[in-house]
Structure formats: structure tokens, C-alpha cells
Structure 1
Amino acid sequence: MAAVVLTPSGPFSLAASMRFLEGFTPASYQGTADEVLRLAFPADDGHSTVAAAVRQEETAEGAAGRVRAEFTMYPGTPADPASAGTGPGTGPGSGPGSGPGPDSGPGPDSGPGPGSGEAVRAQLARILSLDVDGSGFPGLAADPVVAGLMADYPGLRPVCFHSPYEAAAWAVIGHRIRMTQAAAVKARLAERHGRRVRIEGRTLYAFPTPPALRAITRAPGLTEVKIERLHALAEAADAGELDAARLRSMPVDDALAALRALPGIGPFSAELILIRGAGHPDVFPRHEPRLHAAMADAYGLDEAASGDIRRLAGIADRWQPYRSWVGLLLRVRAAEIGGRTS
């Protein structure tokens, strides 16, 4: 098992991230009392799976402690059925099931290969929004609304999907069905076609890698059209079209247009993939009505203002370069008030 260390720049609380994940339906995350964040996910390399245990050091009050992640990489190849995970499991957070695990198919790497540790470090940093310099975020407290959000959710940064690929898959799976249904479908795909790993006493199932996703021909809860679209997304991921660094380096409008060109990805989903998949810190979503309603309410605007995107975008300009971050905090508050999941 290897380890990487992330040093937050600006406020950050891993405990706040874990509380967020427990209420984030797509994650199907079950927390523990030991304040260890356990993750299993397809690596950005497109074929490996990463299992990680993440902790944050305790420091003096007001300081963000360093984040340490111990991880194992499990190689996978398109030709290896065991690495894709063909057996059914027993559910996230449960004991070992009959699905694939460290003892079926290729085992964990004996040690990180050249560059693999840095690649995992970069991916974990993106997932936790620790790849962004947050030292300027407290300066947004000049806006009373943002100041209130910071006070209510200290140290909370966006917790992203593990990759733009996984965010895009979620968008396709969840099209025209309830989030809870979509989460169940996504969890079943992970149990039956992803890799089962043990992380500090718990069993987790990673979402299928692109090669494993392409091999699926039938799955409960997925129509033929959705399966075709998932295959197309897997191919796009293999081709580098869902590379996070690439998407974030492009002008926002160009990145969104490229994402909308993918099968099954509309304007709302494109924004989701860029913001919560690629981890772009400074995008104001123009196709997220619940956020717009939350903004109108927070700023004391009339109901009609929630449909005035230009006006809302002007307000959001005050949040630069953290428009995505403030948007998430507004959604979290709205979800708590309304009893919904962010």
C-alpha cells in the first residue's frame, strides 16, 4: 500500500466532506465513526481501480490539517473478465460477497509504478477539490450571503464524482428516473461489474472501468438506449474526451459544447460533468433551477427572479473564482431546508 499527502490551501474539512457524501444520493456512501473516508473508484488511466483510505491530521483550531491517503491500485485489462467483475456482490459496505475482489483476477500492484502515485494524488485532490487554491475563498465573506454559508458549512468544498467519466455515466443512468432509483442501478453496476475491494475492514465496490462498462449488454434498470449511451461514454473516455484536465483547460462554453455532443448529455448534464466531474471551481450553472431558486431566496429576490438567469449570473460574478463552490453551498442549504439531497 502506498501513500500520498495533500496540503490544503485555505479552509478544508474532511469531516464536512464525509457528511456531505452521506447525503449525496449518487455516492451511496455509508460513513463510519472513525473519520476515515474510504473510496473505491476507476483510476483516470482508464483501466485500473483505486482503493483509498483518507484521513485528515488534527491541528490547532482554524487551521486545515494535511490530508493523508493510503491507497492500493488494482490493474485491470479489457480481456480479463475477473478484472471487470462479473459476479454479483452483497452490497456496498457489507462483508465479502461473491463478486470480484482482490483474490479474483489481477491482484493489487506490489507498489505504485512510475508516476502512478502522482496520478492517484492528482485524482484524489480533484475529488476533494484540494487541487484548487482556496486561500482566497474566505475573502468572499464580504457578501453576507456567502459569509452565512461559510459559517454554516465551515471547511466544506465540493466533493466531486471520481471522474468526468463517472459523472457522465450517472447523468445517463439517471435520465427520467428518480435519483434513488438511479443510485440503486449505479450501485448494482458496481457490485456486478466493478471491482470489489477491502478497505480497512469494509467492502466497497468501484464503478466499472470503461472497458468493463463496454462489455455490459444487459443490466436491470437500464434500457437498451441507455446501455448504448453508456458504451459511447466509455469509448469517449478511452479517447480522452472526458479527461478532466482537458475539460478544465478549455474555455467553459467550449467544454460544455463538447460535452453536449456526447450521446445522452444535455445542457444540465454537461454542467454537472464539468463542475462535479472535472471539478471546475468557477462555473455558474445556467440550467439548474433548484440552485436558481435557492439564490433568489438567499438574496431576498422575488419569485420571478429565479428565472432571470442574467441577473443571477451577475450576482454569481461576485463569487469568482469560486462560483462552483458557492453554488454547492447554496444547494446544500436548500437541500437541508427542503429535506432533499444535493
Structure 2
Amino acid sequence: MTRHEVTVDVLGPWSLATSKQFWEGFAPGALPSQGEQQEMRTVFRVEGDWSRAEVRVTQEGSAARIIVEGDGDLERAVAQTRRFLSLDVDGRGWVDVGARDKVIADAQEQLPGLRPCGFHSPYEAAAWSVLSQRIRIVQAAKLRDDLVCEYGQDGAFPAPEQLRALDLDLPGRKTEYLHAVAEAALDGRLDGEALRAMDVDDAISTVQEVKGLGPFAAELVVLRGANAPDAIPHNERRLNEEITFRYGADRTLAEVSENWRPFRTWAAVHLRSLREARTHEISG
């Protein structure tokens, strides 16, 4: 195992502590609680060679110190880390969104320095989309955890070549669809860098060509798997409900999100995060 370390400037607001807390509550792939440690740690598959990598991220002022270890392409592992932590985005204009929209300004105040943490890759986002179809999130999370424990590598999700070969006893057509996702990843159709470079609508259309991935899943893969910063999800009922709660029944997502450009995904994630916190408090 080799080691690669870099320090990168993060442009615009960023708080490792806020982002870590967000990811620890991110049900599809929640980080294990790391307590008060001033670092974020995770393991993932590096796109391209699908090797396992370990990463530790710490914050030094406005810079991120990224240390990756593994046997594969560690430079690509660093780039992938920056993408799934949204550290590769110039966020200096994010403050301006709050200046234009008092609802987003309030969200920024409640979640200071949050940068949306996505899935490790579009591949993992696509696999989650299949696992979570037509079942509760807690059930899907257990299916994912079981896959990692039985077929993964020290906490990393199974590599596409391995997933494609597995004969899994899963509900419905999930096994067939997981095989299709693995095939698409091996063919490069779920490459994060490539999807980010495309027009968002074209990227979503490309993902929908993978068997088993409909409109909702394709949006998740692009917005949270490739972590595209400026798009709005059209198939999230809970986000629409939050728009009504925050802006009023006469406002629509399409209308209010115009003021969020070029950070529409970020704004949507902030509002969804606040909604989850608020509804959890109510139910608790």
C-alpha cells in the first residue's frame, strides 16, 4: 500500500465539522460516527481501476489536507475525494445566493460551511438506487451493509467486476439491475468526471440508459453521485414539500431555484437537510 498526500485550497465557505456531521447522517452511505475527531475518514473504490483506497481529510484554515492510501491510482483517488466532498467547486459565489434569497441565507446560517457530501461515485449511487427501489431506506441500508460485509473489501463496496458476477438473493429484479449497473461502470458510462463534464440533462439521459435506472435514480446518480453543483431534482417530493413550507403554497421549485444559480444542488441539499432535522425533532 502506498500513500499520497496533498493540500488543496478550498475556494469559498467550507467547514469540515459541518460536512462531517452531515455525512454521518447521510443514510444511503452514512459515515460511522467519528466523534469529536477533527478529521473525516472513509474508504472507497477508485474509479477506473476500482482499487480500494483509504482517505483522511483535515481542515487547515481554508485548505484541505487529503491523505490517500492504496494500491491503485492515488492521484485519481484525490480528485475523486475532492468531488464527493464538493471541495473541487469554486464556492465563492455561494454567499451571493444567500444575499438574494433569505430562505437560503437562513439555511447557510444554520449549516455554516456545509458542502454537500455525495456518494463516493456514480457507481455507488446507482447501486444504492437499485437497492432502495420499492423498500424502506433502513431496509436498503441493511442490504448495502450486507453486501459490503460479505463481498466488499475492508469496508469498501464490492468492485463492479465482482458485483457483476454475484448471484444474489435479492427482491424483485434487483440482482439483474445491479449487474447492469456494474456493467455500465466497467464500460465507463458511470464515470464521475465524464458525467460532471456533460450538460446535466444529457448526463441524466445517459444514466437512464442503464437498465433499472429511471428518472429519480438517474437524477440521484448525477446530482449526488457525480455531485453536480447546479441542478434541481425534479422527482423529490420531500423537497417540494419543503419549498411549500419555507416559501409558501404559491411558490414552486422551478420558480424559487432561479435565484440559486449556479448552486441549485447545494441549495436543495441544504433545504432537504433542514427538513430532515425539523421532521426528526417533531417525530422525536
Give yes or no for contact 2:131–2:143 (8 Å, CA) kept in 1: yes
Structure 1 residues 138-182: Cα deviation after superposition (integer angstroms, max 9, x where no partner): 011221111101101000011010000000000001111110111
TM-score using structure 1 length = 0.78
Percent identity, aligned pairs only? 41
**Is 2:153 the partner of 1:195?**
yes
Q: Which residue is 1:45 aligned to?
A: 48
CA distance in 2: counterparts of 1:334 and 1:28, whole angstroms:
18
Which of 64, 69, 74 lines up with 2:66 in the alignment? Answer: 69
Aligned residues: 277
Which is richer in helix?
A: 2
**Is 2:122 the partner of 1:164?**
yes
1:339 match: secondary structure: helix
Q: Which residue is 2:266 aligned to?
A: 325
Give yes or no for contact 2:119–2:125 (8 Å, CA) kept in 1: yes
| Structure with max Cα Rg | 1
Which of 91, 94, 101 lines up with 1:137 in the alignment? Answer: 94
Change (3 A) 1:257 1:190: same
Give yes or no for contact 1:31–1:37 (8 Å, CA) kept in 2: no
Which stretches in structure 2 are left out of the alignment for 5+ residues? none
Which of 130, 133, 137 lines up with 1:175 in the alignment? Answer: 133
Give yes or no for contact 2:4–2:75 (8 Å, CA) kept in 1: no
Match runs of 1:240-255 below 5 Å: 240-255=188-203
CA distance in 1: counterparts of 2:140 and 2:64, whole angstroms:
31
Give yes or no for contact 2:57–2:66 (8 Å, CA) kept in 1: yes
Q: Which residue is 2:13 aligned to?
A: 11
Q: Quote how far apart the aligned CAs of 1:300 are.
A: 2.4
Match runs of 1:1-342 below 5 Å: 1-32=3-34, 33-57=36-60, 59=61, 65-74=62-71, 116-142=73-99, 143-196=101-154, 205-219=155-169, 222-223=170-171, 225-302=173-250, 311-339=252-280
Residue 76 of structure 2 aligns with an amino acid whose one-letter code is A
TM-score using structure 2 length = 0.93
Structure 1 residues 178-233: Cα deviation after superposition (integer angstroms, max 9, x where no partner): 1011111101111111111xxxxxxxx011111121121125xx236211111111
Which stretches in structure 1 are left out of the alignment for 5+ residues? 60-64, 76-115, 197-204, 306-310
Give yes or no for contact 1:284–1:316 (8 Å, CA) kept in 2: yes
Please provide the CA RMSD for this pair.
1.5
CA distance in 2: counterparts of 1:46 and 1:172, whole angstroms:
23
Residue 190 of structure 2 aligns with an amino acid whose one-letter code is L
Give yes or no for contact 1:174–1:182 (8 Å, CA) kept in 2: yes
Residue 8 of structure 2 aligns with an amino acid whose one-letter code is L
Structure 1 moving runs of 4+ over 3 Å: none
CA distance in 2: counterparts of 1:252 and 1:7, whole angstroms:
26
